[in-house]
Chains A and B, each alone.
Chain A
């Protein structure tokens, strides 16, 4: 906002935007988390209720419109926001401090702990229908929202989707070069060399700096959990042999210029590179199928999906990238209605169908996996039944992965480090080492108990 040469009196202030916000919001700190009584107080409101809801799922407005037409007494206003780490989480944090947060918001699993720690979530375990809903969701997604407490520790959101990862690749390009879908990372590197050697200016993929959670998905596949929680004690394990193996591999690809390092994730430039065939694979989550479909239209029919390459031949490990919940926020005056909507949104077959078709979501509800749409061939992917691959990947996701309570900071450290690597200075192993020590400091800053 503030920049060179503006007149002093007209300028808003000499301090940062953030502090202005903090000023408007009153003091820091935050109150206690009275999880015990929150559930008991979750009673339906009387009369007509309007809920505000933040989400960045494409086509969410259509699902909400369906709800609104069926529930005249509980109207939902959906606001489309930027994706979580691209701004919504920051806005949400500030809104929580200002007591202006919406009733509901999309929050990814990895950030749920951060929001619970800042006392931003409402325990909905006592709201009608929530306890009964547990069995409708894939086990590990539910243990993310009750923080592994089997309900004793409250329920803090409703699972929405998951992001089992697989390999999206341009089948036509691979076929022309006589390549088949790589099953191991070694084969993936060999394919990268063949593609580069073909001399058409193509790269096997881009190394994304703006998507530290993509990199986390790669670590996840190799069982390189970044945090361990033992009661109230935290251990940071970002820098470990399993993560170094992943880092060294990608450093090697970068050093040999086998991947494009000047493309940011989800940028117009990347979409153009997909569309023109300059970048020919993307290791991404189930929801990524609509990202390619919507942004590289001229490549329709040319893509295919294969399982993620493995570190050990024959293994079936997959990473997970993203996946969200619908959380009811602390200040909501209508938690019962908000929880009711959240449950409907993520379990109703019609709603799930819309979210899958428009937003490419891969449902967290077990029943959602039976959706007719998920059994169909997808024409954009050459008529392949791509969701079979994701169903398989979903089974290969390590469910013991634990998120840290300060993921926003950890992602930032990884992202800054990766940016340097892409710029040609430093290497990914050092990035892990720095992210490790910086994250420890970050936990200390939140006065959390860190060991090791």
Chain B
């Protein structure tokens, strides 16, 4: 009896588990993702289709009415839209490669057999990421401010006039803050990927006469390519949402307008009670970020010869 009953039960249980287990693992991701990403984007989309109408004069009754794509037309035709998008695009093209090159270099150094005090340096590089963005931006703002900064004074005394906050310089200055903050974080992701590179492959290469450079370039880098793709996608997403640094720098620099980045533009619009337009701007920003990240992923997976 038991022998005949056992197989179906055994067969059923794994099948059930096969469904429940992935769902269980996904839940901690899906719940916050739904709450904090899907619902807000959905709400923003709903909001973006509406406009304020007023009846009974200036101080009369207001209501939210369906306006179709009016708000999108408004955003797309506004000069701040193209300006801010192009600005973050230019930022991404310069800042992301620099940051990831630095992060990769540091990760490879830490991973190389010669490195000493590994965990100490790992921590040192990671510390900036642990500092809240606003605090970091305020600290750098102080270091950039021509009248307060000891660095500017020092540079001035040796004949260099550093202009960190001029229209030409401010984007670079913001780039520096972002690089300072996130290089360590990306380094850690890449370093973890390097830990997974099988040591015997490296040993074999060494036996075949490969030096540290060759091992790094020909073996380690190709094997951590997925991690590099991942950090690039995250960086792209982050760059298009740039907010904290420009917002803080607005207090000290004359070069950061209220629509400097797309996120800052959406924020400024809400201050003027233009919630519909801000929502449309946000949806466009979310879409642009999604399309770019997706396109980049497609491009790189194809390069790697995967479907």
Interface string of B47-90 (1 = CB under 8 A from A): 10011111011111111100000000010000000000000000
Q: Does A408 contact B286, Cβ atoms closer than 8 Å?
A: no
Q: Does B267 contact A16, Cβ atoms closer than 8 Å?
A: yes
Which one of B29, B181, B257 has the greatest number of beta carbons of chain A within 10 Å? B257
Interface of A is mostly: loop
| Residue in A closest to B28 when the chains form the complex, CB atoms | A9
Q: State the Cβ distance, B165 to closest chain A Cβ, in Å.
A: 8
Q: Does A19 contact B266, Cβ atoms closer than 8 Å?
A: yes
Q: Does B43 contact A3, Cβ atoms closer than 8 Å?
A: no
A269 within 8 A of B: yes
Bin the interface of chain A by size: 35 or more
Q: Does A416 contact B259, Cβ atoms closer than 8 Å?
A: yes
Q: Does A18 contact B278, Cβ atoms closer than 8 Å?
A: yes
A147 contact set on B, CB distance < 8 A: 59
Interface string of A1-36 (1 = CB under 8 A from B): 111111111001111111111110001111111010
B40 contact set on A, CB distance < 8 A: 13-15, 19-20, 23
A114 and B266 in contact (CB under 8 A), knowing A15-B282, A32-B61? no
Q: State the Cβ distance, A406 to closest chain B Cβ, in Å.
A: 6
A446 within 8 A of B: yes
Q: Does A31 contact B61, Cβ atoms closer than 8 Å?
A: yes
A3 contact set on B, CB distance < 8 A: 133, 178, 181-182, 238, 241-245
B96 contact set on A, CB distance < 8 A: 4
A442 contact set on B, CB distance < 8 A: 272, 274
Binds B, one of A116-124, A160-168, A305-313, A319-327: A116-124
B147 contact set on A, CB distance < 8 A: 263, 269, 272-273
A27 contact set on B, CB distance < 8 A: 47, 64
Binds A, one of B14-22, B194-202, B247-255: B247-255
Expressed in whole angstroms, the Cα–Cα distance for A231 and B257 within the complex equals 34
Q: State the Cβ distance, A170 to closest chain B Cβ, in Å.
A: 18
B231 within 8 A of A: yes
B241 contact set on A, CB distance < 8 A: 2-3, 14
Q: State the Cβ distance, A83 to closest chain B Cβ, in Å.
A: 12
Q: State the Cβ distance, A268 to closest chain B Cβ, in Å.
A: 6
Interface string of A412-425 (1 = CB under 8 A from B): 10011011101111
| Residue in A closest to B260 when the chains form the complex, CB atoms | A416
A31 contact set on B, CB distance < 8 A: 61
Measured CB to CB, the residues of B under 8 A from A are 29, 32-33, 36-37, 39-41, 43-44, 47, 50-54, 56-64, 74, 95-96, 99, 133, 145-148, 165-167, 178, 181-182, 185-186, 231, 234-235, 237-239, 241-245, 250-259, 263, 266-279, 281-283, 285-286, 289-290
25 contacts between A and B (CB under 8 A): A2-B244, A3-B242, A13-B40, A14-B237, A16-B285, A19-B40, A19-B282, A21-B270, A23-B43, A27-B47, A30-B62, A117-B58, A118-B62, A118-B273, A153-B59, A210-B250, A232-B60, A262-B254, A263-B147, A268-B145, A406-B272, A408-B272, A412-B272, A445-B74, A446-B274
Q: A28-B64, A35-B59 are in contact. List 9 more A-B contacts (CB 8 A).
A: A2-B263, A5-B235, A9-B32, A16-B282, A28-B50, A33-B60, A409-B272, A446-B52, A447-B52
